[in-house]
Amino acid sequence: MRAAVVQESGELATAEVADPVPGPGQVLVDVEAIGAGYVDVMISRGEYPGATGGAGTVPGVEVVGRVRTGDLAGRRVLAFAGSGGYAEQFVTSADAVLPVPEDADATEVVALGMNALVAHLALRRASVAAGESVLVRGAGGGIGVLATQLARAIGADVTAITSSQARGERLRELGAARIFDRTTAEVPGESYDVVIDTVAGPGTAPHLGLLGANGRYVLAGAAGGLPSDDVVGTLLRDFHRSPSLFAFSLNSVAAPDLLRAWEEVVALWRRGDLTPVVHDRLELTDAAQVIELLGRGAPFGKVVLLPR
């Protein structure tokens, strides 16, 4: 099969590799569409916690396709694994697949996929309620564009942080009531009930300081790197406001809960409360270009690779 493999130089190149063979409790998926995200940049660089990464690795943690082998053979699924997705076939645990409607467009499904689950469950972790104010940091990214929509669907008042007027206008169309251009100032000058942060990095502490009384801050990504050491100091300084800081990963979600959350996401999509945002559809041979785009934060929404 064809796959995009990390070279010694760190670049990706398409190559013929051996077909993957599923082991006990695993499934083999014929891939229709591949979801690309910043996690793939980290895997390619060997920087993703818990993953081998680096030369010889095939990035890619989520695909849509059809199961070829085992008890689930013939079923259309959204499938997750730690790597291996930038390929024509994908092997993962039978517990790491979710059902996909037969009539659904594979590109749209994978544009929701992992990002929609993170956004949905991060908002739930923060117990967002109608009428509350929500700040989305990294709102133009794959998680952010969906968190903006989902918070609006709950009835929250959403402020989206982004990097240009053009992105801001698109986020308004997706439900943001206000746009904050991060190129004009470091942080908004208001307080919020909830912050959904997909960026982290040195800017975490200043944004954590924006929480109002009983505010909740959810770290749902780390495209900007690890937070600086002053995060705990910020929490202690604002102790009188009882702020809460959560770190959220899908890896902590049990399979039944993940399935339930996915069914809720699909229902929101079918109802029109959630729109997949696809930055571009590219061929598997364009994988190196995709990693470059993701590395500099260029995409608005999701980049999707098509293996065939």
CATH number at residue 236: 3.40.50.720
Cβ proximity of 230 and 85 under 8 Å: no
CATH number at residue 16: 3.90.180.10
What pLDDT does 56 receive? 93
Helix (H, G, I), strand (E, B) or coil at 97: strand
In a shared domain, residues 120 and 243: yes
In a shared domain, residues 210 and 140: yes
Residue 297 resides in a domain? yes
Cβ proximity of 113 and 100 under 8 Å: no
Average pLDDT taken over every residue of the chain: 94
In a shared domain, residues 20 and 142: no
The Cα 217–Cα 151 span in angstroms is 14
Q: What is the per-residue pLDDT across 195-216, written as a single tens digit (0 to 9) for each? A: 999 999 999 999 999 999 999 9
The Cα 95–Cα 26 span in angstroms is 8
Amino acid identity of residue 270, one-letter, is R
In a shared domain, residues 129 and 164: yes
Residue 110 resides in a domain? no
Residue 257 resides in a domain? no
Residue 138 resides in a domain? yes
**pTM metric for this prediction:** 0.95
Of 1, 3, 91, 5, the C-alpha closest to 53 is 5
Residue 266 resides in a domain? no
Of 55, 41, 114, 49, the C-alpha closest to 80 is 114
How far is residue 117 from each of residues 61, 94, 167, measured CA to CA in Å? 14, 18, 22
Q: What is the per-residue pLDDT across 165-177, written as a single tens digit (0 to 9) for each? A: 899 999 999 999 9
Residue 261 resides in a domain? no
Residue 109 resides in a domain? no
Lookup: tokens for 160: 């989206």
Helix (H, G, I), strand (E, B) or coil at 289: helix
CA dihedral 164, 166, 138, 201 (to 10 degrees): -20
What pLDDT does 52 receive? 75
In a shared domain, residues 46 and 155: no
Question: Based on the structure, what is the number of domains in the chain?
Answer: 2
Give the rounded distance of the alpha carbon of 290 from its chain centre.
15
* Beta strands per DSSP E along 220-265: 244-247
Report, as an integer, the average pLDDT of 283-301.
Answer: 95
In a shared domain, residues 93 and 180: no
Q: Which residue has the higher pLDDT, 249 or 52?
A: 249
In a shared domain, residues 128 and 247: yes
Structural domain of 75: 2-104+277-306
Confidence check: pLDDT of 256 > 90: yes
* Beta strands per DSSP E along 39-154: 62-67, 76-80, 89-93, 97-99, 133-137
